[in-house]
Structure 1
Amino acid sequence: MALNVPGLVVMAVFYLLVLGTGIWASMRSKKVEKKCSGDGMEITLLAGRNINLLVGIFTLTATWVGGGFILGIAEATYNPTLGAVWALMPVPYVLTFFLGGFFFAKPMRENQYMTMMDPFQRKYGNVLSSALIFPALVADVLWVARTLVSLGGTMSVILDLPYAYSIIISSVVAIVYTLLGGLYSVAYTDVIQLILIFVSLWVCVPFLLTNPHSVDISLTAYNETFQAPWVGTIEHNEAGKWFDDFMLLALGGLAYQAFYQRILSASSYTQAQVTCFASSAFCLVLGIPSVLVGAVAASTDWNSTSYGLPTPYERGQVGSILPVALQYLTPVYISVVGIGAVAAAVMSSMDSALLSSASLFSSNIYKNIIRKQASDYEMQWVIRISVVVVGLVGTGLTFLDNSVLVFWLVGVDMSYTIMFPQLVCILFFKVSNGYGASVGYIIGLVMRVLSGEPLIGLPPAIRFPGCRLDKEGKLTQFFPIRTTIMVMSLMSILLFSWLASLLFNKGLLSEKWDVFDINRKQKAAARAPIVKKANTREDPSVEKQLMDTTSC
């Protein structure tokens, strides 16, 4: 197969368009920074808390609709051991955005936090919050890796471009425009990228559905005579794992800094809510084309195509089924359009992960712990260096494993089992303190490691009910272990927080052992005057005042 020169030209034009948008956005960012009296760090990380509503919707949607989203859905739908019922991403994300809008947006936005970790740092102190930042940073690095893996595999199939070149070029472009303008560059390039994702995917769908090598997908949805039915089934003994995966995707996303970066950049709580609700609808619509791609691939007689036999599943190319289908079931110019969608999806998620991790390190570690007296100029350089480091580490990880779902699930897994219960407790339960958080963190981490993970070859030391070999011969937990561990961690935080508070308040333990100083903090909170908060949703004048203090 020769190098696809027209495809390379199209991709070069796309990258130049994205880079140009990023440069324009960086110029806008500098103008806002000169105009505003606020610090440059807030403008870089949160766009001055004055992001446009439509841009906010686009950037939140684009963050979740990444390469793993597009390729992962097609992969699950095509995989004869899974099927469309296991292509869970779009529906749980609707729940993510609705829960985020209804419950999490208000306490985060009204307290004017800079990052997701601010409430931890304010209540628990620097030592414990630093330990809690670690899984969040690891999840972001894995996010960068999985988005690049999806693009590298797609480019190598359609353009016949070496895997390493695809990864490095895309990584450099994303790092450069993220460096230039921070959230402004990320948000405005996301607008271009999301439009390209939507148009490109839906342009490819008619050509795939009408190609002469595939049977009507309505006939193969449940029919096992041709191949495994692409709709798939959920066996009774697999229901626990399906529920676990659903909850993982629905709640795990609520513990990502990238989500709160969009919430905190909104000019008001109401705008943050609207952003969440609108994005949920976009996620559903953008998930449909990938399901159709997987369905067409499962309904194709590959022996009648130039791909031949064995099938992509038998060759171990399930993770690359979307580019394979585009390459062999659509005209060349359409396959190039399809790769544009994947490239746009990858860039839109990668830049979010880069800025997310840079926010956590620069704000919560460097500014609050390492150098509290750091100037605004110094912080700008810390943010830039953080972006580059995370980008390089994530890029390096792509050469270790080329499965899209591995990095996807491991990253979200850490957010769900470790960070989500911590976030719920810090935001909604006043009883939570450093002692409970420490115990919950340890229990969540230890239990998750001991439960094993077949995706990374980690055997289970603890076997829950239903633990057995899966269809691929891997020892798998079919019990909802991650949800169980999440609940165990959450209950541990509350229980041990209450016990610690009781022991110190009753004098059963000396205050000199109170390393988290919870007794003094509780007394200080009790003496503090009660200030009635204005209802900004009902009082437009108050909301305007808040907007004036947080944006230009």
Structure 2
Amino acid sequence: MIDWYGASGILVFYSIILGVGVWAGTKKKNNGEEEVMLAGRSIGQTVGILTLIATWAGGAYFTGIAEAFFTTGLLWCQMPIGYSFNLAVGALLFAKPMREAGYITMLDPFQEKYGSRIGGLLFLPAFLGDILILAATLGALGVSLEVILDISKYWSVTISTMFAAAYTITGGLYSVTYTDVLQLLFMVFGLLLSFPFAINNVQYYPKDPSNSTLSSNIDWIGHVEPKDYVFWVEQMLILVFGGIVNQSFFQRILSLKSSINAFNISLISATVCFLLAIPAASFGIVAKLVDWSKIPSYGKPFDYSESSAILPLVLRNLTPNWVAFFGLGAVSASVMASADSIILSSSSMFTRNIYKLSFRPQATENELMCVLRLSIIVVSVVSCYIALSSGSIYYLAVVCSDIVYVVLFPQLLVVVYWTKYVNGYGCLVSFVLGLVLRITGGEPDLGIPPMIKYPWYDDTTRRQLFPYKTLAMLLSAISLIMISQLVSYIFHNRILDPEQWDVLNAFQEFRPTESRKRQPKESEHLNVHIIKYRRTNEPHNYTSEISSYQPSTTIEEKTKSRF
């Protein structure tokens, strides 16, 4: 039977969010690329902090922490530390240089260096990761609502996706930003309102007769086996360094008014995200204290297949109906804070880095906006379909996070800090090597056997205990620099004739001057814009600059200040 209090709470909160999203869309000054994708780079410090926190600490963050405390204890609840350090690393490594360069997406530095086609190749792992993480987010929401409200997973996922896509199409980053802020406020308010009622009801259904939170019968800490120490560390590294190579993060950083704001906001958000883990963990503790078979509305031993919905279950069964109205509505609505961010980020990368820079440099602003809106619809539909049809979304999302850690993180780090040492040849080899090493390590949960069994391989659980993902990441970074330098040595020393063998056009200095003037690389258009942006620190109209660009000097002269 449907829980009408919870269902009405969700409907009310969704409607408020949709209304705010449509209103925020009216703040757009025009339909330009920067205006829609980056809110005209006008986001201030307060709103910037709130939207970044909401993107990271969405509904999945709170429900995941509550689940981890309930099922495995403190030691395996890696999300708060990983996510917090994730933002801190983003601030220290990428926030300032990426914002000062005037990039629009995470892929811009790749296309600036390697050209639009090679740089665009890195869109594939980023896009696939976004799609599957979005599907996992929507799938988790559907399971939660199915368990606690007896609402069909089909309807809960479909309606949530439609709401998120609707206001994202309407206002772009303006709508996403303001709804993120609202969703975060809803979430914090709902949890703070609900917790006193939940903890008070523990006394009526105690698991331990002494009713003590310090009871030795309850394992709060959890346990990490000695054989899992290295595995635990690697999982933390993936959370910290893999998660930061995320267009949702860069979309917020690049939309801020200045590079100083970008740095400060990332550090502040990291601290607040960690603190917000405390109320989420508290609900996991409450769930561990009660005997679920004594609760009339649940009335059975706890079914651990429902552990992913432990936070909504506590709200439904241990709080009054009117409190559950706010709590369940806030939890469900806050999931969209992560969903809408992913929808917009993937669509922005496709529109700018694939459609525009790779295939249609002459595209008008109106054409790009049509492509962006169509991309939002396609991303939403595909993610919704995967969420409804796949039974292994979580593991697919985990694998894609690994691939981002192995393939994209070293690529971004090197291209930002050591760009003069790399070229397209090193990029391709690094990409393929990292991907192959990750796949050959296997993935038992997806039925992929390991082709390479590293030291400490556990035949019982079929797990690689050796940190082979980190090894693959390091080898990917090393190969990127070494292969680039090797190819550079071969061409500069004329071991091979670059005019004949430089098939990727990575060494333009060997091209005849007139030829370079007649056929500038696609990435030159991006370089010219970025140089102009640094000189004026003001947003520009990309289309008008690209269409009016007539190279009068060589690209080396125009990019002297960059390289």
TM-score by length of 2: 0.86
Report if the CA contact (8 A) 2:117-2:358 is conserved: no
Report if the CA contact (8 A) 1:154-1:339 is conserved: no
Aligned to 1:5: 4
Aligned to 1:535: none
| d(CA) in 2 for partners of 1:286, 1:549 | 38
Q: What is the CA-CA distance between 1:75 and the residue it aligns to?
A: 2.0
Aligned to 1:468: 458
1:408-419 to 2 correspondences below 5 Å: 408-419=397-408
Instruction: State which drifts further: 375-384 or 105-114.
Output: 105-114
Aligned to 2:423: 433
Q: Deviations over 1:345-382 (max 9, x none)?
A: 21101110011001110001111122221111111110
| d(CA) in 2 for partners of 1:137, 1:102 | 25
Instruction: State which drifts further: 426-435 or 386-395.
Output: 426-435
Q: Deviations over 1:51-72 (max 9, x none)?
A: 1221111111111112331222
Aligned to 1:149: 139
Report if the CA contact (8 A) 1:193-1:345 is conserved: yes
Aligned to 1:504: 491
| d(CA) in 1 for partners of 2:454, 2:330 | 41
Q: What is the CA-CA distance between 1:424 and the residue it aligns to?
A: 0.7
Aligned to 1:347: 336
Q: What is the CA-CA distance between 1:497 and the residue it aligns to?
A: 1.3
How many residue pairs match? The answer is 516
Q: Deviations over 1:318-364 (max 9, x none)?
A: 22222223333333333333322322321101110011001110001
- Do residues 372 (structure 1) and 371 (structure 2) align? no
Report if the CA contact (8 A) 2:6-2:329 is conserved: no
Q: 1:61 to 1:454 in 2, by over 3 A?
A: farther
Amino acid at match of 2:136: R
Amino acid at match of 2:175: S
Q: 1:310 to 1:215 in 2, by over 3 A?
A: closer
1:79-90 to 2 correspondences below 5 Å: 79=71, 82-90=72-80
Structure 1 counterpart of 2:313, from 324, 331, 337: 324
| d(CA) in 2 for partners of 1:149, 1:342 | 14
Q: 1:550 to 1:61 in 2, by over 3 A?
A: farther
Q: What is the CA-CA distance between 1:158 and the residue it aligns to?
A: 2.5
Q: What is the CA-CA distance between 1:522 and the residue it aligns to?
A: 8.9
1:21-36 to 2 correspondences below 5 Å: 21-29=20-28, 32-33=29-30
Amino acid at match of 2:21: G
Q: Deviations over 1:281-337 (max 9, x none)?
A: 221122222222222223332222233444222xx2222222223333333333333
- Do residues 182 (structure 1) and 172 (structure 2) align? yes
Aligned to 1:230: 220
Report if the CA contact (8 A) 1:14-1:340 is conserved: yes
1:58-457 to 2 correspondences below 5 Å: 58-79=50-71, 82-210=72-200, 211=202, 212-215=204-207, 223=216, 225-226=217-218, 229-306=219-296, 307-313=298-304, 316-401=305-390, 405-406=394-395, 408-429=397-418, 430-457=420-447
Report if the CA contact (8 A) 1:72-1:405 is conserved: no
| d(CA) in 2 for partners of 1:466, 1:300 | 39
Report if the CA contact (8 A) 2:21-2:179 is conserved: yes
Aligned to 2:508: 520
Report if the CA contact (8 A) 2:24-2:171 is conserved: yes
Instruction: State which drifts further: 401-410 or 364-373.
Output: 401-410
Q: Deviations over 1:208-264 (max 9, x none)?
A: 3232324589956683x35xx132122211111111111111111221111111111
Q: Deviations over 1:101-147 (max 9, x none)?
A: 12201221111111111111121123222221101011111121122
| d(CA) in 2 for partners of 1:182, 1:19 | 13
RMSD over aligned Cα, in angstroms? 2.5
Q: Deviations over 1:474-512 (max 9, x none)?
A: 411222222222112111111111111111112222212
- Do residues 485 (structure 1) and 475 (structure 2) align? no
| d(CA) in 1 for partners of 2:185, 2:535 | 31
Instruction: State which drifts further: 409-418 or 251-260.
Output: 409-418
Report if the CA contact (8 A) 2:312-2:331 is conserved: no
Amino acid at match of 2:7: L
Report if the CA contact (8 A) 1:68-1:408 is conserved: no
Q: What is the CA-CA distance between 1:443 and the residue it aligns to?
A: 1.0
Report if the CA contact (8 A) 2:205-2:295 is conserved: yes
Aligned to 1:459: 449
Q: What is the CA-CA distance between 1:95 and the residue it aligns to?
A: 1.6
| d(CA) in 2 for partners of 1:491, 1:221 | 49
| d(CA) in 2 for partners of 1:120, 1:177 | 30
SS at structure 1 position matched to 2:6: helix
Instruction: State which drifts further: 260-269 or 139-148.
Output: 139-148
Report if the CA contact (8 A) 2:21-2:168 is conserved: yes
Unaligned ranges ≥5, structure 1: 34-38, 525-541
- Do residues 48 (structure 1) and 21 (structure 2) align? no
| d(CA) in 2 for partners of 1:366, 1:550 | 17
Report if the CA contact (8 A) 2:387-2:393 is conserved: no
Aligned to 1:529: none
Q: What is the CA-CA distance between 1:45 and the residue it aligns to?
A: 0.2
Report if the CA contact (8 A) 2:410-2:474 is conserved: yes
Q: Deviations over 1:8-31 (max 9, x none)?
A: 2222211111011111111111xx
Q: 1:160 to 1:547 in 2, by over 3 A?
A: same
SS at structure 2 position matched to 1:475: coil
Report if the CA contact (8 A) 1:505-1:519 is conserved: no
Q: Percent identity?
A: 38
Amino acid at match of 1:277: L
| d(CA) in 1 for partners of 2:509, 2:290 | 65
Amino acid at match of 1:263: I
Instruction: State which drifts further: 133-142 or 174-183.
Output: 133-142
Aligned to 1:530: none
Aligned to 1:16: 15
Aligned to 1:527: none
